[in-house]
Amino acid sequence: MRLVLDSDVLVHALRRPKSKELHTLHEKAVRLFESCIERYNELFLPTVIPIEVGTVLSKILPEDLAIEGIEKLLRITKEVYPYTDDATLNSVYSISSHIYFERLLDNSLKLSRITKEGTDSWVPGWQAKREVMIGGMDIFVLTYAELKAAVLITNDWALWYVAWKRGLSCYWLSGLKDEQVSELASAHKIEYPVQ
């Protein structure tokens, strides 16, 4: 199964937290990340994700560990698109990058601010705010997952909600139970959210 793991999920997977509150999310992220190492799943990333993960790791880890974490991430990733450190792939990807750009632009105008539907109040993580707003970086991530027909996993509720309403196959990490994470780690899609 093609997975797009959002930056926050990858940071959870690339450092061991001290606090117990973050440990549960860390464990879930590790299981998903390891499923990509074991090739049950394939990790697909838009270029912005390794860059964003790098900026966060460099703030929270010593430089040598941040570099090692990013190197491991890139070696596990099946595709980084449209800009990568592989010259051959850059040439190939440039052929289709305009499609990505056009879809990004369209999504940025349609999805950056959406009104929540009250009938969705049963979904995990629901809060009584009328609107959901996402930023340009979220649009890059969502659009890439959409173009690649990949499964998006994020711990960002706003991005999850917008992607879910858009019809993407997507999961909110905090809302996933351990057995659901195991299913996804075994490359099985699950019904989510379940009413």
Partner 1 sequence: MISEKVVKAVEEQIRMFQGLAPEEPQVTLKEYRDYLKSTEGRSVELDPSEYIRKQRLRSEFY
CA atoms of 118 and 128, how far apart (whole Å)? 9
Q: In 3D, which of 48, 59, 56 has the Cα closest to residue 81? A: 48
Measured over the CA atoms of residue 155, residue 161, residue 166 and residue 168, the dihedral's sign is positive
Give 92 or 149: the residue with its C-beta nearer to partner 1.
Answer: 92
Minimum distance between the CB of residue 115 and partner 1, rounded to whole angstroms? Answer: 17
CA atoms of 136 and 142, how far apart (whole Å)? 10
State the number of CA atoms in the 13 A half-sphere of 148 facing the CB. 26
Give 99 or 136: the residue with its C-beta nearer to partner 1.
Answer: 136
Does the protein bind partner 1 through residue 59 (CB under 8 A)?
yes
**Total residues in contact with partner 1, by rule CB under 8 A:** 49
Per DSSP, what are the bridge partners of residue 132?
Answer: 114
CA atoms of 160 and 153, how far apart (whole Å)? 8
Segment near partner 1 (CB under 8 A); pick from 64-72, 145-153, 161-169, 175-183: 64-72
Does the protein bind partner 1 through residue 193 (CB under 8 A)?
no
Place of tokens 């196959």: 169
Minimum distance between the CB of residue 14 and partner 1, rounded to whole angstroms? Answer: 7
Give 25 or 149: the residue with its C-beta nearer to partner 1.
Answer: 25
Does the protein bind partner 1 through residue 190 (CB under 8 A)?
no
CB of 164 closer than 8 Å to CB of 117: no
Q: Which of positions 2-21 make contact with partner 1 (CB under 8 A)?
A: 7-8, 11-12, 14-19
**Residues near partner 1, by CB under 8 A:** 7-8, 11-12, 14-19, 22, 25, 30, 33-34, 37-38, 48, 51-52, 55-56, 59-62, 65, 68-69, 72, 74-76, 86-89, 91-92, 133-138, 155-156, 158, 174
